């Protein structure tokens, strides 16, 4: 998952391209490059490292030109270095390609092209595209790109320029997100809206199989038979300010502190407190559809999968409908049994995660009704599903997902309430859920007061080799999420576990001082969780406990007791996860880690 940007218009391209890349850096940040078409033909500059390296190394004069493409990389084929950075060129050095995705038959194509004396400079799959364009005898660049793609298998979002066809960018989409930006007398291409903000709010989302041609005089979209395709022009709802740090040191910290507002946005206009109902018109599910639901299948990856695990508790408890939760990559490779009567929910912050996208396609082909629970408006999963729920959490730029998790849990509670009120949940119970949901934004703000204490706890954890996160019932997914956050930003090995499972093995990991973070809200599994804490204590583990206000039953047992406001037990994950997000953030800071750009990761995983 990489980020691509392109520009053609009256202005010098390089600054626009580099600014665009810096807003796409969360998609991949191990190397970056650009190519411009100027008075001296095609100029290519590329470097290992962050976009800032490219920015510092490129002067406008060196890469003059009003047309160009650029790329920030997350390596899949070939180590992250200058040679493997994009753009990649053909033998003549006149064609330059930037690509997001994976060419699955690249090895075969490389052998074929090498046998025809094409010279390869990099280890990448992408470079075959440049040579395939060079190999085509079609007269126009778009014709040559279409030719090249007819031999290619795999996923791609690609942009191509050619010094023999200046002031033109040819773009193609097959599986990886690509959109066009329509400006005043200038045109852009990008992997997502972030790169276009500040230039235009008018965007065109390309569909799979689309080929677009951008020139100074306009753009056109066609299919591989060069038949014109019409795509709607949408308007972006986010602006530069929402994409900025807003006085925080890191996006992760900003997004943790935005949760009062992101959760309020997820609830806005969707609660009918008097009727004890949720209004989810975007789902396109009428009473008859709901009556036909025999089971719910929740699909997602990483944090979204963890939100799905909370969703199971919510839907089974409030709607009494059986729920399966699956990691999308595993779901799609298992034998597919018929799924009629199954409502499948694809949970994804970015709306671009390839495994979740393919998972929902597999569910649909097995007869399931598929909806999305997505944050990014206009993303592929949003456009692929028959309806859905937008989170409206605003852009999530920190690679470690935080506010999306709490908004996903809130949206899943709204879904559970919506289904529940169709399957027998009483108006009183519905009103109680609606009341608890409405109280959340304030409770979240109150939760932030634990930050000073958590920072102190982080000082103990920062030198740890390993950490364990434990919970029971609806807190198990929170334990998994806490472990994931700590792993991905501080690189400390951490495991989340159902507390009762400890004695079946993982308890062997505990020795004197091992940090064991326990989620213990005052709910119906509290007492059992306390017994598990005593097992940990007996082996010398350091008990860091997150519990709810209003009791003193853990004052003696816990080494560190972090209190969050009490709420409905069904909603405790929205509050108990916050100290864990802060713990991961502050532990990573103390270890000098790059909190917003953790190593080896990227924000949206658009490759399988």
Active-site positions? 2, 603
* Among the listed residues 190, 301, 409, 588, the single contact to ligand AGP using CB under 6 A: 301
Distance, in Å, from the CA atom of 415 to the CA atom of 417, rounded to the nearest integer, reads 5
Selected binder of ligand AGP within 12, 84, 349, 567 (CB under 6 A): 349
If one asks whether residue 31 binds ligand AGP (CB under 6 A), the answer comes out as no
Single residue of 100, 200, 260, 356 touching ligand AGP by CB under 6 A: 356
Number of H helices, E strands in the chain: 18, 26
User: In the chain, what is the straight-line distance between the N-terminal and C-terminal CA atoms, in Å?
Assistant: 10
Name which of 122 and 356 has its Cβ closer to ligand AGP: 356
Nearest-angstrom CA–CA distance, 328 and 167:
42
- Angstrom distance (rounded) from CA 250 to CA 183: 30
* Chain position carrying tokens 């009256």: 10
To ligand AGP, the closest distance from the beta carbon of 393 in angstroms equals: 11
Q: Is 604 in the site for ligand AGP (CB under 6 A)?
A: yes
Cβ nearer to ligand AGP, comparing 350 with 406: 350
- Near ligand AGP by CB under 6 A: residue from 118, 605, 606, 607: 605
By CB under 6 A, name the one of 304, 329, 548, 576 that touches ligand AGP: 304
Name 147's Cβ contacts closer than 8 Å, sequence gap at least 6. Answer: 132, 133, 135, 136, 137, 138
Contact yes or no for 152/109 (Cβ under 8 A): yes
User: Two tokens at 488?
Assistant: 């991905």
Name which of 89 and 262 has its Cβ closer to ligand AGP. 262
Rank residues 44 and 400 by Cβ distance to ligand AGP and give the closer one. Answer: 400
Least distance between ligand AGP and beta carbon 601 (Å)? 7
Q: Which is nearer to ligand AGP, 14 or 401 (CB)?
A: 401
Looking at residues 467 to 496 of the shown chain, list those that interact with ligand AGP (rule: CB under 6 A).
Answer: 488
Q: Which of 541, 559, 466, 474 is nearest to 503 (CA)?
A: 541
Give me the half-sphere count of Cα atoms (radius 13 Å) on the Cβ side of residue 565: 16
Site for ligand AGP in 363-422 (CB under 6 A): 399-401
Site for ligand AGP in 189-228 (CB under 6 A): none
Q: List the strands of the sheet with 323-327, edge to edge.
A: 323-327, 295-300, 342-348, 369-374, 388-390
Q: How far is the CB of 181 from ligand AGP (least distance, A)?
A: 22
For residue 605, the minimal CB distance to ligand AGP (Å) is 5
Stretch that binds ligand AGP, among 254-262, 347-355, 436-444, 466-474 (CB under 6 A): 347-355
Interface characters, 240-259, with ligand AGP (x: CB under 6 A): --------------------
- What does the block give as tokens for 312? 């199971």
As to burial, measured by CB atoms within 10 angstroms (0-12 exposed, 13-18 middle, 19+ buried), residue 229 is middle
In angstroms, rounded to a whole number, what is the distance separating the alpha carbons of residues 365 and 44? 44
Stretch of residues binding ligand AGP (CB under 6 A), selected from 83-91, 314-322, 345-353, 427-435: 345-353
**Interface with ligand AGP, residue 329, by CB under 6 A:** no
**Residue 487 C-beta: closest distance to ligand AGP, Å:** 9
Shortest distance in whole angstroms from residue 602 CB to ligand AGP? 8
Q: Which of 348, 490, 576, 581 binds ligand AGP (CB under 6 A)?
A: 348
Shortest spacing between CB 400 and ligand AGP, in angstroms: 4
Which of 411, 450, 403 minimizes the C-alpha distance to 545?
A: 450
Span interacting with ligand AGP, options 266-274, 343-351, 446-454, 525-533, rule CB under 6 A: 343-351
Tell me the backbone φ, ψ of residue 604, rounded to 5 degrees: -125, 130
* CA Rg value for the chain: 25
One residue of 155, 200, 265, 353 binding ligand AGP per CB under 6 A: 353
Q: Parallel, antiparallel, or unpaired: how do β-strands 234-235 and 168-174 relate?
A: unpaired
Q: How far apart are CA 561 and CA 563, in angstroms?
A: 6
Chain center to CA of 281: 24
Residue number of the CB closest to ligand AGP reads 302
Q: From the CB of 595, what's the least distance to ligand AGP, in Å? A: 12
Residues 488-547 binding ligand AGP (CB under 6 A) are: 488
Give the range of 207-215, 276-284, 310-318, 344-352 binding ligand AGP by CB under 6 A: 344-352
Number of residues forming the site for ligand AGP (CB under 6 A): 15
**With CB under 6 A as the contact rule, which of the stretches 145-153, 196-204, 349-357, 526-534 interacts with ligand AGP?**
349-357
Q: CA–CA separation, 369 vs 353, rounded Å?
A: 19
- Cβ proximity to ligand AGP, 379 vs 547, nearer residue: 379
Residues 6 or more apart whose Cβ sits within 8 Å of residue 102 = 76, 77, 125, 154, 155, 607, 608
Q: Which of 227, 85, 215, 71 is nearest to 146 (CA)?
A: 227
Measured distance CA(124)–CA(105) in Å, rounded: 12
> Do 156 and 145 form a contact (C-beta atoms < 8 A)?
no
Residue choice 303, 380, 413, 529 for contact with ligand AGP (CB under 6 A): 303
Element containing residue 597 per DSSP (H, E): none
Contacts with ligand AGP by CB under 6 A lie at 301-304, 348-350, 353, 356, 399-401, 488, 604-605
């Amino acid at each position: 998952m990489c980020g691509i940007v392109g520009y053609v218009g009256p202005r010098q391209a390089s600054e626009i391209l580099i600014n665009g890349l810096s807003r796409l850096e969360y998609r991949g940040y191990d190397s970056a490059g650009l190519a411009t078409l100027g008075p001296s033909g095609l100029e290519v500059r590329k470097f290992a490292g962050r976009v800032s390296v490219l920015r510092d190394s490129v002067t406008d004069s060196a890469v003059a030109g009003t047309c160009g493409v650029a790329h920030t990389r997350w390596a899949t084929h070939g180590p992250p270095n200058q040679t493997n950075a994009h753009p990649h060129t053909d033998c003549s050095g006149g064609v330059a390609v930037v690509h997001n995705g994976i060419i699955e038959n690249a090895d075969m194509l490389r052998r074929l092209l090498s046998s025809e004396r094409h010279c390869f400079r990099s280890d990448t799959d992408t470079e075959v595209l440049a040579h395939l364009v060079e190999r085509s005898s079609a007269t126009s660049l778009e014709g040559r790109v279409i030719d090249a793609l007819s031999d290619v298998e795999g996923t791609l979002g690609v942009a191509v320029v050619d010094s023999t066809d200046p002031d033109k960018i040819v773009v193609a989409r097959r599986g990886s997100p690509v959109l066009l930006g329509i400006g005043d007398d200038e045109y852009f291409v990008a992997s997502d809206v972030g790169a276009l903000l500040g230039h235009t709010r008018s965007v065109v989302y390309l569909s799979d199989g689309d080929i677009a041609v951008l020139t100074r005089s306009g753009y056109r979209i066609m299919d591989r038979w060069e038949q014109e395709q019409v795509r709607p022009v949408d308007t972006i709802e986010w602006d530069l300010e929402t994409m900025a740090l807003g006085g925080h040191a890191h996006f992760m910290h900003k997004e943790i502190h935005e949760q009062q507002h992101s959760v309020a946005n997820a609830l806005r206009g969707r609660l009918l407190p008097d009727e004890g109902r949720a209004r989810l018109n975007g789902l396109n599910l009428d009473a008859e559809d709901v009556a036909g639901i025999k089971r719910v299948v929740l699909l997602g990856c990483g944090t979204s999968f963890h939100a799905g695990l909370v969703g199971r508790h919510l839907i089974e408890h409030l709607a009494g409908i059986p729920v399966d939760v699956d990691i999308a990559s595993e779901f799609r490779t298992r034998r597919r049994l018929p799924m009629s009567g199954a409502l499948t929910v694809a949970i994804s912050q970015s709306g671009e995660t390839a495994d979740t996208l393919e998972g929902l396609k597999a569910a649909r082909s097995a007869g399931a009704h598929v909806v999305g629970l997505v944050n990014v408006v206009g993303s592929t999963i949003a456009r692929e599903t028959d309806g859905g729920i937008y989170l409206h959490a605003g852009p999530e730029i920190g690679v470690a997902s935080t506010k999306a998790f709490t908004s996903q849990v809130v949206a899943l509670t709204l879904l559970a309430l919506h289904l529940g009120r169709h399957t027998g949940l009483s108006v009183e119970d519905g009103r109680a859920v609606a009341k608890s949901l409405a109280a959340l934004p304030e409770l979240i703000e109150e939760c932030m007061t634990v930050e000073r204490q958590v920072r102190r706890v982080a000082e103990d954890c920062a030198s740890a080799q390993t950490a364990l996160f434990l919970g029971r019932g609806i807190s198990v997914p929170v334990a998994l999420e806490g472990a994931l956050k700590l792993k991905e930003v501080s690189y400390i090995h951490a495991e989340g576990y159902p507390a009762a499972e400890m004695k079946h093995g993982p308890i062997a990991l505990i020795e004197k001082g091992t940090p064991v973070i326990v989620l213990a809200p005052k709910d119906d599994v509290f007492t059992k969780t306390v017994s598990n804490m005593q097992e940990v204590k007996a082996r010398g583990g350091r008990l860091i406990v997150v519990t709810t206000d209003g009791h003193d039953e853990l004052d003696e047992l816990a080494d560190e007791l972090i209190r969050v406001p009490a709420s409905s037990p069904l909603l405790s994950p929205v509050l108990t996860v916050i100290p864990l997000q802060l713990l991961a953030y502050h532990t990573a800071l103390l270890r000098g880690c790059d909190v917003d750009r953790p190593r080896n990761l990227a924000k949206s995983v658009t490759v399988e």
